[in-house]
């Protein structure tokens, strides 16, 4: 299958900036994506972390747009982010088209005028934020220190891939304002940049606007590839890291080739043959047959200067790395000697084709069309490779796979890291940047209303045609999910649903996986609190065989005993591994404090070790018989479909589906805590304090839902929220903080989540409590905050309807909550009805600081004295 051509225009401004434009209608929003060809590889050894630091500093305001970058755009419904890798830095804004000029004005201003807005205070705060990110993502996370060790082992100290993008904290500490300003002036210039604008645009007008704002900026020069020493390993390196993990893990890496090298594609497909999907070699051998492993991945990671092939295996409890290494070497040697079968190669080539095509469904974000156009432009100078890069994978043959296995892997030196648990174009007038542009009125957006059809047995089918790409997504949604599992059997629903694709009366688990992967079809069975889902995403020509598979696992699962034993064991191992995660421990402790034992929400969706250990196969079979039937089921399908044809296909497969009546879930509303509580879980040696705070919230169908969406936006629902402004932007205690209402069929939790430096845990908790009290007390939401929150949600909803898979997900959740199919069409009107007074009233009713339960997971020796001094709750110290 060939990819459809993608029309685009590329124009290089006089200052060297590449501008790529693609008009793609359908939704009134635009993806603005800017790449700078600078990453950690461009740093000197005393600058390690500068590129990533600028990812943060670029959001702190520029000369003509002072203050937080998010503040200007999130209220307009924008999705904003950025990322840094070893080779590039990218920034994206996905926003209603009406505000395109504003985005281009701001992006150009931080390119042209960032340095004048930098000061010592901003630099100090963002250094603190980066340090908290380092603690959260590396020092305080299971397996978090693996990649810094591997980078140092794979590359000599002079090589720019020998350090991580996050950098070295000592280098950041020493960085002066002059140092970082000079780094910015060298690399963040038009000649070293690429701008992609994709979406609902007039290309000529968009180019004229880009020329107006970016054209006057001095060109600078392209970054030169840094000198790199030779990287071959004279011999293998064996490393052992003792970490606080329950499941041991092995990492193996070999030196290979940079991206786009002639051997990059065969190596990538070799990784897929080894470990992509349940039909892959290593998954079958290690996870299914021998049950040594919990999971396995294999991949080719090509970068600009070098590449590596990696295999990562997480072991099951009580299994040893020693018994694993020989099996991996044996499999690699087997491929190097005997090659792979044409069927294996055909499977992964089809999956690769499907992944290329599915990527074209998204305009913006990471990996969307705009991002991929920039990637091919920056790395290869040709955005057109977005659809012309696939043939290099399609041309790979079995001899290529065998050759690269011999050349790079079999018998070649590798870095082995064992992680072992510690058991404990137009002329423009002169630009005046001081005058911001005025957005056009936002284009009216009405979410689609599905066409409702029914099968002969009454099963409703919601159809949403979307004809721009030949892809289809579908889900059979069944109301209830985990809400219908028996009392004190947490984890049963998720485990039972996970068994659906582990074998049917006519197909084994391996045959199901092979059939799906050979078509490039993503087939899944999943369970949430409110519903269970059998879903797939496929290419349009393969709808019928994909639907055959989905119907088979839905209606005829056989719950094979061997697969039950394996999946049950894997689930227990995953729960055991959760002991390593401070975030998981905090979440579980919060639920246990908010909901009485026996309540459906007392335990997490995946259960607890104690409960899951006692679950039996016959319970899962009974759950399927009683709950996963047509009584409260419906089908949601979106994409390149004809409604009448899809109903005909469904009728032949589900039209006679019958089952017993299913009771509707009845979930008692718990009483909120009568007093605040402060619970400390001791985690000796923890590098950071994890905080989970909350109380019981609301159910999805309560009338306060929309008002609380708005209140939460103000409090902690977005980057510009009060909580994030206080804890991150003002005090640099954390990498980020968020609040949310988890609205379910029953009353779900309201929660605040963050991780902070341990010596600031008490201060951060006090700030959280103060912000909650202020919101419902003497500092209620202002009209400006309400207007910004409302505009953000209304204008930001467009991108949530971008792909068939997104449509199916959103409307399937409407279905399980018994909301009407046109519910999203009136979303904006319902938000407009929320007044400032009703917003404040809803917040006062539903946000209860005096019922707040705060769970802290930290080294008790570091935090307990400070916590005891908070005063508004007695400290409860728990050993876990």
Looking at residues 195-206, what average pLDDT do you find? 96
Domains along the chain? 9-214 (3.30.830.10), 237-362+375-421 (3.30.830.10), 451-654 (3.30.830.10), 677-878 (3.30.830.10)
Question: Quick check: 579 pLDDT over 60?
Answer: yes
Which uninterrupted H or E stretch holds 528? none
Confidence check: pLDDT of 490 > 80: yes
pLDDT digits (tens, 9 = 90+) for 368-421: 999 999 999 999 999 999 999 999 999 999 999 999 999 999 999 999 999 998
Q: Please give the pLDDT value at position 139.
A: 80
Mean pLDDT for all residues in the chain: 93
pLDDT at 431 over 60: yes
880 pLDDT more than 70: no
| pLDDT tens digits along 238-255 | 999 998 888 999 999 999
Let me know how long the chain is.
880
The structure tokens listed for 391 are: 């043939």
Residue pLDDT, tens place only, 304-313: 999 999 999 9
**Looking at the predicted structure, is the pLDDT value of residue 430 above 80?**
no
Q: Which two tokens stand for residue 729?
A: 């932007």
In this structure, what are the phi and psi dihedrals at residue 633, rounded to the nearest 5 degrees?
-110, 160
**Residues 586-616: pLDDT tens digits?**
999 999 999 999 899 999 999 999 999 999 9
Give φ, ψ of 528 to 5 degrees.
-115, -170
Q: Percentage of the chain surpassing pLDDT 90?
A: 82
Q: Look at residue 425 and tell me whether its pLDDT is greater than 70.
A: no
pLDDT of residue 135: 86
**Cβ(317)–Cβ(573) under 8 Å?**
yes
Residue 579: C-alpha distances to residues 133, 335, 395, 559, 682 (Å) = 21, 37, 45, 29, 12
Tokens of 415: 């870095």
Decide which of 719 and 441 is more confident: 719
Which residues 6+ apart lie within 8 Å of 553 measured at CB?
Answer: 500, 501, 504, 512, 523, 525, 534
Residue 639, pLDDT > 70, answer yes
H or E, element range at 70: helix 69-73
Quick one: pLDDT band at residue 516, thresholds 50, 70, 90? very high
Average the pLDDT over 830-839 and give the result.
95
pLDDT at 72: 87
- Write the CA distances from 643 to 127, 466, 633, 639, integer angstroms: 55, 11, 18, 10
Q: What band does 428 get if pLDDT is binned at 50, 70 and 90? A: low
Q: How confident is the model at residue 427 (pLDDT cuts 50, 70, 90)?
A: low
Structure tokens at 425: 């174009």
Convert 168-204 to b/e letters by CB count within 10 Å (16 or more is b).
Answer: bbebbeebeeeebeebbeebbbbbbbbbbbbbbbebe
pLDDT for 214-227, tens place per residue? 999 999 999 999 98
For the stretch 116-146, pLDDT in tens is 999 999 889 898 988 888 888 888 888 889 9
Q: In what order do the strands lie in the sheet with 89-96?
A: 9-12, 18-23, 193-199, 29-36, 89-96, 79-84
pLDDT of residue 70: 87
* pLDDT of res. 809: 96
How would residue 28 be classed by pLDDT, with cut points 50, 70 and 90?
A: very high
pLDDT at 232 over 70: yes
Average pLDDT over residues 165-181: 91
In contact, 863 and 680? CB cutoff 8 Å? yes
Q: How confident is the model at residue 237 (pLDDT cuts 50, 70, 90)?
A: very high
Residues 722, 729: contact at Cβ < 8 Å? no
């Amino acid at each position: 299958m060939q990819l459809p051509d993608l029309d685009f225009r590329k124009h290089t401004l006089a200052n060297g900036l590449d501008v790529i434009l693609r008009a793609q209608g359908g939704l009134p929003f635009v993806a603005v994506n800017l790449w700078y060809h600078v990453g950690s590889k461009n740093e000197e050894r005393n600058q390690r972390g500068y590129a990533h630091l600028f990812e943060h500093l670029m959001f702190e305001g520029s000369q003509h747009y002072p203050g937080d970058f998010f503040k200007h755009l999130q209220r307009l419904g924008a999705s904003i982010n950025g990322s840094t890798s070893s080779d590039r830095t990218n920034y994206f804004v996905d926003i209603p088209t009406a505000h395109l000029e504003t985005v281009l004005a701001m992006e150009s201003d931080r390119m042209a005028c960032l340095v004048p807005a930098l000061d010592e205070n901003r630099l100090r705060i963002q250094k603190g934020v980066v340090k908290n990110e380092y603690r959260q993502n590396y020092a305080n996370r299971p397996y978090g220190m693996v990649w810094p060790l591997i980078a140092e082992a794979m590359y000599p100290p002079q090589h720019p891939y020998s350090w991580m993008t996050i950098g070295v904290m000592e280098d950041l500490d020493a960085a002066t304002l002059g140092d970082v300003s000079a780094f910015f002036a060298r690399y963040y210039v038009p000649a070293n940049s690429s701008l992609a604008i994709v979406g609902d645009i007039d290309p000529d007008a968009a180019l004229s606007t880009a020329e107006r704002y970016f054209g006057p900026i001095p060109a600078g020069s392209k970054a030169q590839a840094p000198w790199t020493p030779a990287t071959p390993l004279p011999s293998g390196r064996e490393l052992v890291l003792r970490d606080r993990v329950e499941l041991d893990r092995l990492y193996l890496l070999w030196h290979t080739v940079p991206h786009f090298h002639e051997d990059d594609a065969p190596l990538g497909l070799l990784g897929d043959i080894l470990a992509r999907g349940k039909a892959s070699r290593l998954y079958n051998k290690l996870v299914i047959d021998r049950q040594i492993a919990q999971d396995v991945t294999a991949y080719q990671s090509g970068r600009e200067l070098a590449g590596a092939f990696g295999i990562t295996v997480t072991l099951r409890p009580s299994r040893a790395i020693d018994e694993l290494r020989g099996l991996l070497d044996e499999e690699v040697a087997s491929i190097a000697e005997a090659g792979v079968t044409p069927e294996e190669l055909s499977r992964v080539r089809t999956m690769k084709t499907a992944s290329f095509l599915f990527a074209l469904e998204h305009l913006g974000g990471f990996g969307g069309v705009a991002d991929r156009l920039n990637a091919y432009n920056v790395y290869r100078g040709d955005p057109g490779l977005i659809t012309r890069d696939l043939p290099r994978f399609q041309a790979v043959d079995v001899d290529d796979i065998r050759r690269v296995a011999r050349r790079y892997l079999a018998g070649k030196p590798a870095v082995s890291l064992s992680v072992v648990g510690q058991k404990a174009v137009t002329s423009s007038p002169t630009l005046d940047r001081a005058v911001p542009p005025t957005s056009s009125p936002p284009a009216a957006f009405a979410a689609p209303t599905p066409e409702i059809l029914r099968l002969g047995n009454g099963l409703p089918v919601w159809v949403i045609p979307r004809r721009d790409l030949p892809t289809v997504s579908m889900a059979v949604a069944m109301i209830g999910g985990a809400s219908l599992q028996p009392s004190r059997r947490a984890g049963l629903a998720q485990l039972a649903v996970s068994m659906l694709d582990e074998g049917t009366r006519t197909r084994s688990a391996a045959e199901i996986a092979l059939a799906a992967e050979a078509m490039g079809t993503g087939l899944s069975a999943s369970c949430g609190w409110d519903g269970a889902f059998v879903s797939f995403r496929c290419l349009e020509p393969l709808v019928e065989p994909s639907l055959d598979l989905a119907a088979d696992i839905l209606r005829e699962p056989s719950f094979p005993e061997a697969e039950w034993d394996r999946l049950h064991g894997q689930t227990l191992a995953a729960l055991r591994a959760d002991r390593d995660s401070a975030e998981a421990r905090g979440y579980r402790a919060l639920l246990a404090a908010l909901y009485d034992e026996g309540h459906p929400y007392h335990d997490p969706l995946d259960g607890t070790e104690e409960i899951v250990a006692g679950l039996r196969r016959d319970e899962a079979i009974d759950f399927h018989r009683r709950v996963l039937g047509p009584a409260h089921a419906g089908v949601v399908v979106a994409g390149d479909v004809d409604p009448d044809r899809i109903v005909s296909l469904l009728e032949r497969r589900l039209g006679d589906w019958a089952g017993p009546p299913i009771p509707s879930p009845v979930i008692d509303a718990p009483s909120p805590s009568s007093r605040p509580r402060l619970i400390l879980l001791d985690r000796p040696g923890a590098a950071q304090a994890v905080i989970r705070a909350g109380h019981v919230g609301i159910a999805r169908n309560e009338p306060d839902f929309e008002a609380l969406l708005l209140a939460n936006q103000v409090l902690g629902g977005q980057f510009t929220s009060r909580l994030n402004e206080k804890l991150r932007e003002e005090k640099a205690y954390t990498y980020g903080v968020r609040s949310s209402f988890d609205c379910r069929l029953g009353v779900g939790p309201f929660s605040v989540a963050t991780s902070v430096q341990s010596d600031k845990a008490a201060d951060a908790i006090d700030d959280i409590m103060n912000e909650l009290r202020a919101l419902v007390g003497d500092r209620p939401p202002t009209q400006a905050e309400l207007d910004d929150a409302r505009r953000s949600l209304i204008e930001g909803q467009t991108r949530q309807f971008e792909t068939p898979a997104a449509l199916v997900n959103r409307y399937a959740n409407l279905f399980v909550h018994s909301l009407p199919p046109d519910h999203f069409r009136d979303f904006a009107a319902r938000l407009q009805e929320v007044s400032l007074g009703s917003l404040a009233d809803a917040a006062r009713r539903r946000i209860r600081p005096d019922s707040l339960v705060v769970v802290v997971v930290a080294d008790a020796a570091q935090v307990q004295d400070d916590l005891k001094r908070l005063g508004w709750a007695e400290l409860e110290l728990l050993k876990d």
